[in-house]
């Protein structure tokens, strides 16, 4: 293969299409939709990168992956080198390559996007990460750093906690990770479905952390099993990354009917507890007509899950238009291919029940867009006397999550904002010496990659703290 | 893994198990519960912590085998282990000094009641305990409860032990006797029993605390599956409870929501080997 392509030759290559499982087939299974690129497709796509000097993509990445470098190595077929670069910058590349909203990050500002399609950075990241998972023997060995003698505990094994654990372990700190559920991964395990992120990927990424010496203890609910103060006594620093695990309720009539789920419950039953498998005891109501309320990635995950559980009609009900939907474009695109109906500019008014307490319908209000609100999106306004009823037997509420107060309620000295999220400085330091936080417990419901970004930037701050700054703090809060 | 150190059968399909769980033993307060996930791929089962020994690092659980998962837990032999136990979860019982109180337990609820009654007695309350069950073999912990109760009254439906009838009959007599009327009632047992107790005490304005057992998954407030209506508010039993004011609980909704997976449960039960199925249905009504 010719190694030195001219810019013109690079410009002439068309953006690769991700091989996908056929929509008609995939609604009958939970296997991954995106099949991944072949080596040939990946190398060709890598050659589309102009290796420009300005490198805007790197600044667009919350964990600052050296994107042009790994792509350049891939373009010439040096996979061990591409993997070395990627793994050094990103603790969970096989996860990010699947669930990151690249279209609003690295790919949005790719120079090639100005005239045509940007480089498919996400697909390439996934390809290199999957290659690395499949060829551990061909990877450049990681040197185990000498131990620093510092002990750090991490609360929550979701994307923020896992990233933090990897970064700190690579610096030689002794890391203990506490997880409340019986398995690791947080939202990667209980929230994101198998068809978008196979759980074996999470398993392998977690194993890699264990190989780095990270201790993981499940079934520890910090705030209940152990108090934050106990961790502060036992460890030199604590990082809180316990997520935004509290569903926002609809607060409409009929919410307690049988057949109404929060997205957290619905997805946890299916993902963590494997209710989709016939050989598992976990029950779930498999509706024939399912309405999912919300327009984010969680709503898409829930509605596409309902289809795979056998729903004949699966509906997204969203109060604004598709333009304002927070879901990744790929998710809503995949949902439509799978026959999901989108009912836009409509909001739930009441869940209707039958005489036995089961859901039988959803009374909805038509909306129109008014003036922009604080988020800059146009505010949905009800259209008077314009309501309709959807006949459904399962309703899933995916309007959002808030900070779970389980830990913070038992640590009254920890400073929170008015929504109950932990307040930190830009590097993740809380008001308590030696206590850091990141991910959704700080941001509210955000994304996997932003949580990972917090884990990465926070690890530098913790490193500084352990490296000397700690000495200037009292060992216990005044 | 959590090692089983003792496993004693107290009544048909009711076991008392002592399990090594040092972190939970240290943190636990009366009224709190754990969630057990006995093996990979199993259900998550909430169970009240009966007792704990922080020095020995052990907790005591009472469990009734009513389905495949509880059967699996109850039949774990000494030396065997359970994959996951998370806790202690939920709010601890508010231990106040009421003076004279009545603690009412029905079936396995008596085991849930035990730590709470003990804590209330230790705090200086004068405790009358009323325990009920279908027949003699289903009356559990009578001796243990006598150790700190001023009186233990027993009611069985067939009269094979104690008086014939329901716990509510015994409670009504206490209320009717001005020298014995309780200032507060703690009732734990099957939902219909708790509802009957709450309805009995309501006209007298006697504070009545009940402990609820809705369907639950994570036990940390994450899923909202355990929501119950208390007064005008929706509460999550796992983090706001499990104990609530019995006069405010919507028991009808609780019973209804508990029936959500009846079909699935029946299907799973029907697929069990016959000897296991018999074992379970024998104690189920």
Give the residue on B whose Cα is nearest the Cα of A260. Answer: B225
Chain A touched by B6 (CB under 8 Å): no
Give the residue on B whose Cα is nearest the Cα of A282. Answer: B43
Distance from CA of A274 to the nearest CA of B (A): 7
Task: Report the 10 Å Cβ neighbour count for B79.
Answer: 9
Beta-carbon contacts below 8 Å between A and B: 102
One-letter-per-residue 3-state SS of chain A: CCCCCCHHHHHHCCCCCCCECCHHHHCCCCCCCECCCCHHHHHHHHCCCCCCCCCHHHHCCCCCCCHHHHHHHHHCCCHHHHHHHHHHHCCCHHHHHHHCCHHHCCCCCCHHHHHCCCCCHHHHHHHHHHHHHHCHHHCCCCCCCCCCCCEEEEECCCHHHHHHHHHHHHCCCEEEEECCCCCCCCHHHHCCCCCCCCHHHHHHHHHHHHHCCCEEECCCCECCCECHHHHHHHCCEEEECCCCCEECCCCCECCCCECEEEHHHHHHHHCCCCCCCCCCCCCCCCCCEEEEECCCHHHHHHHHHHHHCCCCEEEEECCCCHHHCCCCHHHHHHHHHCCCEEECCEEEEEEEECCCCEEEEEEEEEEEEEEECCCCCEEEEEEEEEEEEECCCEEEECCCEECCHHHHCCCCCCCECCCCCECCCCCCECCCCCEEECCHHHHCCCCHHHHHHHHHHHHHHHHHHHHCHHHHCCCCCC
Q: Start-end ranges of CATH 3.40.50.80 in chain B? A: 100-258
Q: Report CB contact under 8 Å: B86, A225.
A: yes
- Chain B residues in contact with A256 by the CB 8 A cut-off are 227, 229, 234, 253, 257
In this prediction the pTM is 0.92
Q: Report CB contact under 8 Å: A405, B41.
A: no
Q: Report CB contact under 8 Å: B257, A404.
A: no
Compute, in degrees rounded to 10, the torsion defined by CA atoms A10, A11, A13, A18: 100
- Chain A residues in contact with B43 by the CB 8 A cut-off are 273, 281-282
Token pair 């949005």 in the structure block, residue = A108
User: Of all residues in chain B, what percent carry a pLDDT higher than 70?
Assistant: 96
Fold of the B100-258 domain: Rossmann fold (3.40.50)
Residue B282 has pLDDT above 70, yes or no: no
Any idea what the Cα angle at residue A61 is, between residues A58 and A419, rounded to 5°?
150
Q: Residue A327: what pLDDT?
A: 93
Distance from CA of A288 to the nearest CA of B (A): 16
Sorted by sequence, the CB contacts under 8 Å of residue B8 that are 6+ apart come out as B15, B16, B17
Q: Is B32 helix (H, G, I), strand (E, B) or coil?
A: coil
Give the residue on A whose Cα is nearest the Cα of B268. Answer: A281
Q: Start-end ranges of CATH 2.40.30.10 in chain B? A: 2-89
Q: Report CB contact under 8 Å: B222, A273.
A: no
Q: Residue A470: what pLDDT?
A: 58
Task: Report the 10 Å Cβ neighbour count for B6.
Answer: 12
Distance from CA of B55 to the nearest CA of A (A): 16
Token pair 């609809």 in the structure block, residue = A250
Residue B265 has pLDDT above 90, yes or no: no
User: For B19-44, what is the mean pLDDT?
Assistant: 93
Chain A touched by B13 (CB under 8 Å): no
What is the Cα gyration radius of chain B? 18
What is the Cα gyration radius of chain A? 23
pLDDT in tens, B86-113: 999 999 999 999 999 999 999 889 988 9
- Tell me the mean pLDDT per 10 residues along chain A, length 478: 78 94 94 96 95 92 93 95 94 92 91 93 96 90 85 96 94 96 95 95 93 95 96 96 92 96 96 88 92 96 97 97 91 96 97 96 96 86 96 97 90 93 94 95 89 90 83 44
Give the residue on A whose Cα is nearest the Cα of B85. Answer: A219
Distance from CA of B229 to the nearest CA of A (A): 9
Q: Residue B22: what pLDDT?
A: 97
Which structural domains are found in chain A, ordered by start? Answer: 7-138 (1.10.1060.10), 151-245+403-467 (3.50.50.60), 247-401 (3.50.50.60)
Token pair 């419950």 in the structure block, residue = A265
Query: For residue B151, what is the DSSP state?
Result: E
* Cβ proximity of B153 and B165 under 8 Å: no
* Cβ proximity of A380 and A370 under 8 Å: yes
Q: Report CB contact under 8 Å: B86, A264.
A: no
Q: Residue A343: what pLDDT?
A: 98
- Chain B residues in contact with A259 by the CB 8 A cut-off are 260
User: Exposed e or buried b for every residue in A238-248, given b needs 16+ CB within 10 A?
Assistant: bbbbbbbbbbb
Q: Residue B108: what pLDDT?
A: 86
Query: For residue B90, what is the DSSP state?
Result: S
Give CA–CA dist A171/A92, Å, rounded: 17
Question: How sure is the predictor about B121, in pLDDT bands with cuts at 50, 70 and 90?
Answer: very high
Give CA–CA dist A194/A270, Å, rounded: 9
Fold of the B2-89 domain: Elongation Factor Tu (Ef-tu); domain 3 (2.40.30)
* Best residue in B27, B214, B224 for a mutation probing chain A (most A CBs within 10 Å): B224
């Amino acid at each position: 293969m010719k190694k030195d392509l001219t810019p013109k030759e690079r410009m002439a290559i068309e953006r690769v299409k991700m091989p996908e499982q056929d929509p008609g087939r995939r609604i009958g299974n939970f296997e991954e939709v995106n099949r991944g690129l072949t080596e040939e497709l990946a190398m060709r796509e890598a050659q589309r990168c102009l290796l420009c000097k300005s490198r805007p993509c790197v600044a667009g990445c919350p964990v600052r992956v050296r994107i042009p470098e790994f792509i350049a190595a891939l373009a010439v077929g040096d996979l061990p080198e591409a993997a070395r670069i990627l793994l050094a910058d990103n603790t969970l590349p096989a996860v990010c390559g699947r669930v990151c909203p690249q279209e609003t990050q690295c790919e949005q500002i790719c120079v090639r996007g100005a005239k045509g399609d940007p480089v498919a950075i996400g697909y390439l990241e996934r390809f290199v990460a999957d290659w690395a998972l499949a060829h551990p023997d061909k990877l450049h060995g990681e040197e185990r750093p000498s131990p620093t003698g510092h002990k750090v505990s991490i609360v929550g094994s979701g994307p923020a906690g896992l990233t933090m654990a990897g970064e700190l372990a690579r610096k030689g700190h002794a890391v203990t990770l506490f997880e409340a559920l019986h398995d690791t991964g947080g939202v990667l395990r209980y929230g994101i479905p198998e068809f978008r992120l196979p759980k074996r990927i999470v398993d392998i990424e977690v194993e890699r952390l264990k190989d780095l010496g990270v201790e993981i203890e499940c079934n520890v609910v910090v705030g209940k099993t152990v108090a934050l103060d106990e961790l502060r006594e036992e460890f030199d620093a604590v990082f809180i990354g316990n997520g935004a695990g509290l569903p926002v309720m609809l607060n409409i009539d009929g919410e307690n009917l049988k057949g109404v789920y929060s997205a957290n419950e619905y997805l946890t039953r299916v993902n963590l507890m494997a209710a989709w498998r016939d050989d598992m005891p976990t029950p779930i109501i498999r509706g024939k007509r399912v309405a999912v309320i919300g327009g984010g990635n969680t709503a898409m995950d829930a509605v596409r899950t309902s289809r795979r559980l056998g729903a004949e009609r699966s509906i997204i009900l969203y109060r604004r238009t598709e333009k304002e939907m927070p879901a990744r474009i790929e998710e809503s695109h995949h949902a439509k291919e799978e026959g999901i109906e989108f009912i836009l500019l409509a909001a739930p008014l009441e869940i209707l029940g039958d005489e036995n307490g089961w859901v039988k319908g959803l009374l909805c209000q038509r909306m129109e867009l008014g003036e922009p609100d604080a988020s800059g999106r146009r505010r949905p306004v009800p259209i008077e006397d314009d309501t309709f009823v959807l006949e459904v037997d399962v309703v899933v509420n995916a309007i959002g999550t808030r900070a779970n107060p389980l830990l913070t309620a038992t640590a009254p000295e920890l400073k929170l904002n008015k929504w109950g999220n932990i307040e930190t400085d830009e590097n993740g330091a809380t008001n308590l010496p030696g206590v850091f936080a990141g991910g959704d417990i700080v941001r509210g419901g955000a994304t996997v990659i932003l949580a990972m970004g917090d884990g990465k930037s926070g690890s530098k701050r913790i490193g500084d703290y352990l490296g000397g700054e700690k000495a200037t703090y009292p060992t216990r809060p005044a | 893994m959590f090692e089983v150190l003792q496993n004693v059968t107290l009544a048909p399909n009711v076991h008392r198990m002592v399990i090594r769980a040092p972190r939970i033993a240290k943190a636990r307060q009366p009224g709190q519960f754990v969630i057990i996930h006995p093996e990979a791929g199993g259900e998550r089962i909430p169970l009240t912590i009966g007792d704990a020994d922080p020095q020995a690092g052990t907790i005591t659980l009472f469990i009734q085998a009513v389905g495949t998962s509880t059967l699996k837990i109850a039949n774990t032999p000494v030396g065997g282990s359970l994959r996951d136990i998370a806790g202690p979860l939920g709010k601890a019982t508010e231990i106040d000094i009421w003076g004279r109180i009545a603690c009412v337990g029905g079936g396995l609820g008596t085991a849930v009641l035990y730590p709470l009654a003990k804590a209330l007695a230790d705090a200086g309350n004068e405790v009358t305990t009323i325990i009920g069950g279908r027949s003699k073999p289903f009356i559990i912990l009578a001796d243990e409860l006598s150790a700190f109760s001023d009186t233990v009254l027993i009611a069985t439906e067939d009269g094979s032990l104690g008086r014939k009838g329901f716990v509510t009959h015994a409670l009504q007599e206490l209320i009717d006797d001005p020298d014995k009327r309780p200032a507060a009632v703690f009732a734990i047992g099957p939902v219909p029993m708790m509802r009957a107790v709450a309805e009995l005490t309501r006209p007298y304005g006697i504070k009545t605390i009940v402990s609820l057992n809705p369907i639950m998954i994570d036990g940390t407030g994450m899923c909202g599956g355990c929501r119950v209506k208390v007064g005008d508010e929706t509460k999550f039993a796992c983090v706001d409870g499990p104990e609530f004011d019995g006069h405010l609980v919507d028991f009808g909704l609780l019973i209804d929501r508990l029936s959500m997976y009846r079909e699935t449960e029946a299907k799973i039960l029907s697929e069990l080997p016959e000897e296991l199925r018999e074992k379970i249905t024998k104690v189920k009504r």
